Structure 1
Amino acid sequence: MARLLLRSALLVSAVALVPTVTSALAAADAETFREMDQFMSVFDRVRSEYVDKVDDKTLIKGAIDGMLASLDPHSSYLDSRDYQNLRTQTDGAYGGLGLTVSMEDGAVKIIAPTEDTPAYKAGLKSGDYITHLDGKLIYGGTLDEAVDQMRGKPGTQVKLTIVRPGRDKPFDVTLTREVITLKPVKWEVKDKVGIVNINTFNKQTGEAVRAALVSIDKAVGGQPLGYVVDLRSNPGGLLDQAIEVSDAFLDRGEIVSQRGREKSDIERWYARPGDFAHGLPVIVLIDAGSASAAEIVAGALQDHRRGLVMGERSFGKGSVQTLLPLTEDTALRLTTARYFTPSGRSVQEGGIQPDIRVPQLTDPDYKDRPRLREADLRRHLINEAKLDESVLEDDTKADPRFQLTATQLEKQGVSDFQLDYAVKTLARLGGAPATAAAATTSAAAKGTVTAGAGPKGGR
């Protein structure tokens, strides 16, 4: 009897909803329904006439993937495997070779190798293409298939065939698989300069940066001459962690703003009182692999004149992705907003321009290797502000200060020219207050360096 009453109640509820649903359907665009009919027609024909039998789940996932791929490079559907991988990575541990990869025209392209992983130690670089795995061509397959083949039991090996733009011939690299526990932050002291190396922005990054700054002070026995914040080849990560890291160096002012679809859809985040770096000079290192959350930190410190940005122009990803769970094990990663630096700059396409451009001279391929950036990706979001086209041009112009070769630097014991240059710059400043240090460096470099275009922020 109770079951019958429940069924009756549900039926009444359903009938009551009919006018509302009918009204909504009537108001919908008729063209949309025609397109949906077209989609169902294609779906039915593929199911019944394709040369091989394909299950409905595969077809529907392919349709969803295609819909999201038509929007921008960063929106995607996460099935149970993808969703679990994403959660594992943001938690800070995952299995693999340590590569962030994408698919471009049927080829697997390396976005960035993660520091201290097999791929990084083997010298793989952003912009390299993987054409073969263990001698088998992977061109034309899916990205998931390629990733599955690169994964495996820790301790086993896989051979990658690499095509590197600027080199005449492909070359092979054999990597040993590892269980990778990603340490988001590493620190060291060199010549009384504290170096904070941030590899990614996962759940532990903000806390790890604060701990690193405290540890550096203890190691020095007081305060260092300054700090280098190394964001090179950092592909980004969680927005809240980028805010925490910026806050560690700022004691007031806006860090970043997020603007959505509607004009009124604006969120802003501000620094809290307290500067873990004591107002000492800060140099931020960036390169073409510095993206998203890394650009938020670099942009915030640059706009507030809290840090001097060195290196090369960053990747230029100025969009925010929101993870929208669909079921317990699937989700939608959707671009929902653009972010802006404190001065109102959008880094979309153009990226963060360094205050002082310093090439990585210890990389023998740095002149010939093209830099992969957001502006190179298909269907990337267009910057709403007008950009000076020169910002998007290649930034490998010759600079008379940087003429040494990788071989010459190796003989001098320099294995990382950009970091060495940053440390020596801070050593020359000798612990001067941050604002005075930035002004002094800019004045000394006037006429010979590329200055950042961002106006002053409200410190």
Structure 2
Amino acid sequence: MKFLPLLRATLLVSAVALLPATTAGLAAVDGRSSAEFGKLLAIYQLVKDNYVDDVDDDKLFKGAIDGMLASLDPHSTYLEGSSLQRLETMIDGNYTGLGLSVVMDDGAVKVVSPFKGSPAEKAGLKAGDYITHLDGVLYYERDLDEAVSKMRGPPGTSIRLTIYRPGRDEPFDVTVARGVIELEPVTSELKGNIGVISINEFSRDVGKDVNSAVSSLRQQAGGKLAGLVLDLRSNPGGSLDEAVALSDLFLEKGDIVSQRGRLAADNMYYRAHSGDVAKGLPIVVLIDAGSASASEIVAGALQDQKRAVIMGERSFGKGSVQSLIGLDRTSAVKLTTARYYTPSGHSVQEGGIEPDIKVPQLSDPDARTRAERAIRESDLRGHLINEVSLDDKQLEADKQDDPRFAMSVEELKKQGIEDFQLHYAVQTLQRTAAVPALAATGKR
């Protein structure tokens, strides 16, 4: 297994760097006369001598490693064989399956977000759904890799998922046909004189693709492009480098993001270079509970630098960086090694990015219930605690009703509005001249 592709991008809600394992660290552990290590060895021997069945050493060692890393945080994990290969194939953006970003939440498989255009999204799966059964088999307190592997398979084959959706009294079944997941990291379209650029993941060349999209939209608009919407909703993250590259497109100077770890060598600062590809056009960035990691880096940078107005709902709140440490050619440890901070020094860990203008997704009949119960970093067992104390009222603010948004799904349908958040963002940009705060985000 080659590790080089793993350095080029990240998997979902992670920012991964490649680090070598050092024999010095292993030697230090070997020479440590610790009572706790003695307990570990004693328990191992007890299991080998007394357990009702013979137990393979690989099973015991892997269980010990998994338990050790699981005690740290939700993003530190041991990867080998098929799990490491899945990381590689997802980074390449081409695999067969359902197109879901999932996590384990108190023993259950929970959907962070379906990928845009994926079989899962087309089948109606939504962020916050729990997958309780796969083809009738209960998946609870089981390995996440096992569940993911079960959802993979040849294109065209189907799997029956039993879904529990918060707000509904009874679970329901959904049959999803697997497909080839060829994610389009960047798509764009022109709505009137407003350009809409959707960034679905932060894989290779996202910065270049967005740069090309801006040029294409300007040509389509005949040189009369009036503003841009960067849609980062349900974008679970990806490459830190690509998040920096995308932010740099629209910033003339200043910090983009910094990462700080326990060791000085882990501290890094990323700064913008001169040049704004949008040439001062006003920008709205759309985020929601599925916007995580690299998405939050971009939203935080453009918000703190006052280059864009952030709209939508509070983001996921993953403010940590994972390093991929190769043990040998077939195994690695993904270990949390740093936290990242926005230009103002704000850590998004737990709290996420708060939008400047909170806009609910009124066109989704289940949106309010899902927003109230949406999974975020702060909901994951063992998540890193933010070093700065958080105001509980701030964390709960996006659950409060806003009197400005009272239209029903039926009323929106009559007006032909299928995506209220996007509609609101485009309308706001078209009224830029009447919104001084937004106009101020332009080139200064």
The normalised TM-score by structure 1 is 0.86
Q: Which amino acid aligns with 2:426?
A: V
Q: 1:25 to 1:274 in 2, by over 3 A?
A: closer
CA distance in 1 between counterparts of 2:415 and 2:338 reads: 47
Q: Which runs of 5+ in 1 are unaligned?
A: 1-19, 441-458
Residues 273-310 of structure 1 deviation map (CA, whole Å, 9 limit, x = unaligned): 11111110000000111110000000000001000000
Counterpart of 1:373 in structure 2 is: 376
Larger RCO (CA within 8 A; separation ≥ 6): 2
CA distance in 1 between counterparts of 2:68 and 2:421 reads: 41
Q: Does residue 403 of structure 1 match 2:388? A: no
CA distance in 2 between counterparts of 1:132 and 1:381 reads: 29
Q: Mean alpha-carbon deviation: is it higher for 420-429 or for 46-55?
A: 46-55
Counterpart of 1:171 in structure 2 is: 172
Q: How many residues align?
A: 417
CA distance in 2 between counterparts of 1:24 and 1:407 reads: 66
Counterpart of 2:349 in structure 1 is: 348
Q: Does residue 388 of structure 1 match 2:386? A: no
Shift of 1:48: 2.8
CA distance in 2 between counterparts of 1:128 and 1:394 reads: 22
CA distance in 1 between counterparts of 2:415 and 2:261 reads: 50
Q: Which amino acid aligns with 2:395?
A: L
Counterpart secondary structure, 2:428: helix
CA distance in 2 between counterparts of 1:348 and 1:24 reads: 32
Residues 203-223 of structure 1 deviation map (CA, whole Å, 9 limit, x = unaligned): 132221111111111211214
Q: Which amino acid aligns with 2:284?
A: I
Q: Does residue 307 of structure 1 match 2:311? A: no
Shift of 1:138: 2.2
CA distance in 2 between counterparts of 1:73 and 1:25 reads: 24
Query: Counterparts of 1:182-331 in structure 2 under 5 Å?
Result: 182-262=183-263, 265-331=266-332
Counterpart of 2:14 in structure 1 is: none
Q: Mean alpha-carbon deviation: is it higher for 83-92 or for 221-230?
A: 83-92
Q: Which amino acid aligns with 1:399?
A: D
Shift of 1:357: 0.4
CA distance in 1 between counterparts of 2:91 and 2:71 reads: 26
Counterpart of 1:5 in structure 2 is: none
Q: 1:48 to 1:420 in 2, by over 3 A?
A: same
Q: Does residue 138 of structure 1 match 2:111? A: no
CA distance in 1 between counterparts of 2:253 and 2:426 reads: 27
Residues 2-45 of structure 1 deviation map (CA, whole Å, 9 limit, x = unaligned): xxxxxxxxxxxxxxxxxx99x9689x764xx2111111111122
Counterpart secondary structure, 2:300: helix
CA distance in 2 between counterparts of 1:197 and 1:301 reads: 16
CA distance in 1 between counterparts of 2:136 and 2:84 reads: 30
CA distance in 2 between counterparts of 1:206 and 1:198 reads: 10
CA distance in 1 between counterparts of 2:215 and 2:29 reads: 60
Shift of 1:136: 2.4
Shift of 1:266: 2.3
Q: Which amino acid aligns with 2:439?
A: A
CA distance in 2 between counterparts of 1:121 and 1:298 reads: 27
Counterpart of 1:452 in structure 2 is: none
The normalised TM-score by structure 2 is 0.89
Q: 1:37 to 1:343 in 2, by over 3 A?
A: same
Q: 1:404 to 1:24 in 2, by over 3 A?
A: closer
CA distance in 1 between counterparts of 2:251 and 2:59 reads: 49
Checking the alignment, whether the CA contact within 8 Å between 1:94 and 1:182 is kept in structure 2 is no
Q: Which runs of 5+ in 2 are unaligned?
A: 1-23
What is the percent sequence identity of the aligned residues?
57
Query: Counterparts of 1:353-368 in structure 2 under 5 Å?
Result: 353-368=354-369
Q: Does residue 426 of structure 1 match 2:417? A: no
Q: 1:435 to 1:428 in 2, by over 3 A?
A: closer
Counterpart of 2:10 in structure 1 is: none
Shift of 1:430: 5.7
Counterpart secondary structure, 1:393: helix
Counterpart secondary structure, 2:270: strand
Q: Which amino acid aligns with 1:163?
A: Y
Residues 356-409 of structure 1 deviation map (CA, whole Å, 9 limit, x = unaligned): 000010111122221111111111111111222212225221211100111221
Computing the radius of gyration from Cα coordinates, the structure with the larger value is 1
Q: 1:80 to 1:182 in 2, by over 3 A?
A: same
CA distance in 1 between counterparts of 2:339 and 2:325 reads: 17
Q: Which amino acid aligns with 1:411?
A: K
Q: Mean alpha-carbon deviation: is it higher for 100-109 or for 136-145?
A: 136-145
Counterpart of 2:416 in structure 1 is: 413
